Chains A and B, each alone.
Chain A
Amino acid sequence: METTIPMIMAKLVDVGIQNSDIGYVFRMGGLMVVMAMLSLLFGAGAARTASVAATGFAASIRQAMFYKIQDFSFSNIDKFSTSSLVTRMTTDVTNIQNSTMMVLRMCVRAPLMFIMALIMSVSINAKLSVVFMFAIPVIGVMLFFVSKFAMPKFRLMLRKIDDLNRVIQENLSGVRVVKAFVREKHENETFKNTTHDVWDAQLSAEKLIIVNMPIMQLVIYACIVAILWFGGNMIIVGDMQTGQLTSFITYVTQILMSLMMVSMVFIMLVNSKASGDRIVEVLTEEIDITDDGANENLKLEDGSVKFEDAAFSYHNDIMNCAVRHINLDIKSGETVGIIGGTGSAKTSLVQLIPRLYDVIQGRVIVGGHDVREYKLDHLRSEVSMVLQKNVLFSGTIIDNLRWGDENATEEEIIEACKDAQAHDFIMSFPDGYNTNLGQGGVNVSGGQKQRLCIARALLGKPKIIILDDSTSAVDTATDASIRDAFAKKLADTTTIIIAQRVSSIEHADKIVVMDNGRINGAGTHEELLKINDIYREVYESQQKGAE
């Protein structure tokens, strides 16, 4: 609509004024006002739809990412680290949303305006529009070169800014370390180098971009001057009229404005490309543990676990295995303790049972079938694992417990908490089970948190329960009561306990000693004391001086 206005304007000047026809002036003027009104309406409509589309788009991306992340396997998550995933879902998506909005509006508007204005100007005077034949290629070539050179420079700049943020972030969280080692000066130097890099990168990137504007201006001006000259001559000869000349000049401005918008879109795209890349990286990440090959109807029959020459690597590299040559037979209902040094792969071993990771060699057999034959959610609901680094979520205690079984009755919940020795302290809170935990469960102590996590796992009534160092902050007396409850109530449930304390596992049916990714020995407490050096050493290191 906007493009028609100068055209009508030309008529108004040429016909209306030349003929002194006031009626004509008003008619044409009225038409222009109507056109502007329509244009306003449509323009506002476009802004509204663009906003809806862009925010909707962002919402879909956010949703797709969230769904994808929820489907990630543990190794997918390890690859990204949770903090980077959070940044990608928040900051990066917002960036994309903002640029989509701009791009949507400009990309439709700019080419349309360009074409319309071009048609209009050709229809006014085809000969004069030859000027564009010169101007447009000049701008095109320039746009091409600027964006070609600017893109890599912007990418470099963004990387440098990433570095900068990283240094600040690390110094913030490590401020005590820096101060304790009196490394402020050293860090200042590092930071100065980083800011200097940012300075250089930013300068060299923006130096290019700011050339855009004056060159555009120059081209526009050159066009205007050229049109004035040629147009002026035509008017003098009588081939053209004054009003037409004016509207022609207006069209020049419009055409070049639309090209300018395109160049802005380019810059936007460069800026948001980094964000886009980071999002795409998440969305295209291949999930390596899926239900493919699972038997829909296969149900876990019992809680037996068997490792057959199992090997596993975090890097999917047989030469660099976390655990290897694992052969282990656990009968349904047995209690098994696992002990071993830092980095001996205790956790890596048990994570294979609920299929948090997949073996790269050998098999893990649960209830008589390879874990890969079960549907994931079925397997995991039957194999409950209390993680070492456990998390409670914001909400009440009861909300958190219901994660184990959302349909649990109050009696069931209380029973599970009693077994986990959590009932008493829960009741000591003024709000009891309705106590709000705050984000990350900040309102309970470490030992209490661990007991809540155990109760949560118990509620699911799994056939196998795995406690990964889950009672480290619980005192030994309570620890013993929990074990007692497990032995009485969960006689049919296979229990696997990883512990640092010998006292936590010494009564187990079987104790497995891990060392450097292999099983060093297995047997009962008494057997191991006799035959296993590592076990004896650990035991002694904890008993020394006790008497």
Chain B
Amino acid sequence: MPPMGPGRKQGMMKKPKDTKKTAARLFSYFKQYKLRLLLVVICVIFSSGANVYGTYLLKPIIDDYIVPFIGQEHVNLAPFIMQILIMLGIYIIGAVSTWLYNRIMVGISCGTLYTIRNQMFEHMQKLPIKYFDTHANGDIMSRYTNDADSLRQMLSQSIPQLISSAITVVSVFVMMIVISPILTLLVIAMLIVMLVVIKFIGKRSAMYFRKQQNALGAVNGYTEEMVEGVKVVKVFCYEDKSKQKFSQINGALAGAASNANTFASILMPIMGNLSNIHYAATAIVGAYLTIISGNTNGGLFALSIGALIAFLQYTRSFSHPITQVSQQVNSILNAMAGAERIFELLDENIETDDGKTTLINAVIDDDGTVHEVAHRTGQWAWRQVHKNGSVSYSPLRGEVDFENVTFSYDGKKTVLNDISLYAEPGQKIAFVGSTGAGKTTITNLINRFYDVPDGKIKYDGININKIKKDDLRRSLGIVLQDTHLFTGTVMDNIRFGKLDATDEEVINAAKIANAHWFISHLPDGYNTWLTADGANLSQGQRQLIAIARAAVADPPVLILDEATSSIDTRTESLIEKGMDGLMKGRTTFVIAHRLSTVRNADAIMVLENGEIIERGSHNDLIDKKGRYYQLYTGAFELS
């Protein structure tokens, strides 16, 4: 499959850890295909059986219907025709069963893959952010591509081939014994030689493949770095030097790769010709036996010409499945390792969510009573279900309360240390501080990308762990530092914030975000097709779209995490006006590097090493002549 994701390299031998358990689990996916699988096994037996038996028929045909009639005239050909027709019939059955089992297996493998992929994706969506922090995207990606593909290959090719090879080998072997036990001894000797050769070559080949893998890693790493940074390369006219270095490591890879592949591809001709030698040996011994039995008439060593020919035909069809078995076993082990990694993903613990409190659209009377309604009113309320089953409503106000929150991502390094803060409904709260000071972590805790112990964070007086996650997040509009746009039109991307938004709503949101002007100047306006890395837009324009996406969601609480870092200050102040209008009376959190962004916030928190070292309004903090003042006057550098 050409378009593999980045990440784990291909061709590496992966060893499964617990084959039995994985196989059993894999099998559970086939339960719904039970009948079809049974049919597959039957068809495989038919198909290989037909092949073997058809070959066996050579013997009686030659011995009983051809040889006796040599030189005779007026031969009764009817039984001969009969035999030929039987043979043809058997072969037809064989071919049809071959087609049938392949067809069924393809169906099963495509269907199973569909099920597994969907299961993986659905499960992945439920995993906590922590999982994505600790697993590289390329690594997760390769479970969908490489691992799923090795699984497909196993289902549609390896397993049926393995069954058919095994059946062929066994039945051929039985037939051989039936025809001539002596010649079969020769077969066993050959078998041992073959296994030794397979083992020897396999070992060498694994070693060289490891070497190739390392060299490939070096080339890919260098490629990645130089191609990602190609613009810098050009600016410094570094092309010739990078070419030189590349040639060097590329040459090393070519050397390692040719060795690795030699051993991998040498196996086939060696096995093929070992079988030829065996064929020759069988012919010699067989011919010798035939001549002797012609003289002595029978006994253990008796061999007719027909038997010899059938036997020779068997030796031809014996070595091929053996080579195949050794290859299929490898690819099945490979697929098992892949399946293990897929199941590993499926077994990851999902985000815990035992919140019962939900967010509803509400109409709030003057006396404060809350009525639940189905449509969007611009007012929201929390619907709390109590232990005794009674339901109460409280209006959403946007009050956020942190009480001595201490947090660490890995349990070692404390990121937030004893943070207490209180955001009044309708306030604009800003966080400033260096990279790593813990600004983003605070917002990550509010929307429960990460969890803190009960009761530490309250939202409108409700413990956030008691709020249903989806509803909690629905109540928070977030514009992230890393604007992520999806492949699709500009319209689709903004609409991501509210799936049922009308075109008009989308355009309004774009206007609030000050994005309307540039969007309408794009070649296809709102229908311009964007790609994920959005190469056709500037970083600032991408941020404008991300802001519009949050604006269309029209959320009760808004979090802007470095949302305007690549936008010039003038445009930023225009956006600010628009957003302030939208968020009037609602709570907003702003995280920024640039102080002009946070200046008009109601409260500014200066974070350093996970602690709030200063808080107050812009003027308060300037008067205080502390860290904020230093930052503002440029005496101190944020990094």
Contact = CB atoms under 8 A, between A and B. Distances in A.
Interface in A42-95: 43-44, 46-48, 50-52, 54-56, 58-59, 62-63, 66-67, 69-74, 77-78, 81-83, 85-87, 89-92, 94-95
Interface string B595-639: 010011000000000000000001100000000000111111111
Given A43-B273, A199-B114, A380-B237, A538 B141 contact: no
Contacts of B538: 342-343
A44 B270 contact: yes
B261 A51 contact: yes
**6 closest pairs, A vs B, by CB?**
A476-B634, A43-B269, A475-B637, A29-B284, A445-B639, A342-B540
A242 B304 CA distance: 12
16 contacts: A12-B283, A70-B243, A90-B223, A92-B2, A169-B5, A177-B480, A199-B111, A222-B91, A232-B80, A235-B67, A341-B568, A389-B539, A403-B236, A406-B241, A445-B435, A544-B596
B287 A25 contact: yes
Contact of B233 (A26, A35, A70): A70
Interface string B236-267: 11110111001100110110011101101110
A63 B247 contact: yes
Nearest to B481: A176
Nearest to B599: A545
B145 interface: yes
Nearest to B144: A168
B125 A5 contact: no
Contacts of A202: 110, 113
Interface string A253-296: 10000000000000000011011001000000000000000000
Interface string A315-330: 1000010000000000
B371 interface: no
Interface stretch (A244-252, A300-308, A428-436): A244-252
A9 interface: yes
Contact of A36 (B220, B277, B596): B277
B100 to A, nearest CB: 8
A376 B283 CA distance: 73
A13 B639 contact: no
Interface stretch (A117-125, A142-150, A182-190, A411-419): A182-190
Contacts of B277: 33, 36-37, 40
Given A40-B274, A232-B61, A545-B599, A180 B473 contact: yes
A70 B239 contact: yes
A340 interface: yes
A171 B125 contact: yes
A541 B573 contact: yes
Contacts of B435: 445-446
Interface stretch (B16-24, B68-76, B381-389, B406-414): B68-76
A393 B229 contact: yes
A175 interface: yes
A63 B94 CA distance: 49
Given A2-B276, A43-B273, A86 B224 contact: yes
B376 interface: no
B145 A235 contact: no
Interface stretch (B28-36, B306-314, B452-460, B581-589): B306-314
Interface string B275-298: 011011101100110110011000
A473 interface: yes
B484 A173 contact: yes
B535 interface: yes
A198 B533 CA distance: 24
A182 B435 CA distance: 27
B131 to A, nearest CB: 9
Contacts of B1: 158, 161, 271
B621 to A, nearest CB: 11
A408 B279 CA distance: 71
B243 A66 contact: yes
B225 A394 contact: yes
Contact of B570 (A183, A341, A380, A456): A341
Contacts of B25: none
A174 B493 CA distance: 12
Given A5-B276, A91-B3, A342 B567 contact: yes
B553 interface: yes
Interface string A349-365: 00000101000000000
B230 A82 contact: yes
Contacts of A370: none
A298 interface: no
Q: Taking each of A69, A105, A456, which has the highest tally of chain B beta carbons within 10 Å of its own beta carbon? A: A69
A415 to B, nearest CB: 19
B639 A448 contact: yes
B403 interface: no
Contact of B110 (A32, A206, A342, A537): A206
B634 A479 contact: yes
B272 interface: yes
Given A9-B312, A206-B110, A225 B269 contact: no
Contact of B273 (A36, A52, A406): A36
A165 interface: yes
Contact of A447 (B145, B258, B523, B639): B639
B26 interface: no
Given A52-B258, A537-B570, A40 B269 contact: yes
A544 B3 contact: no
B578 interface: no
B310 to A, nearest CB: 9
Given A40-B274, A342-B566, A89 B223 contact: yes
B313 to A, nearest CB: 7
B95 A214 contact: yes
Interface string B91-103: 1101110110011
A542 interface: yes
B261 A439 contact: no
Nearest to A66: B246
B211 interface: no
Contacts of B599: 544-545
A20 B474 contact: no
B568 A67 contact: no
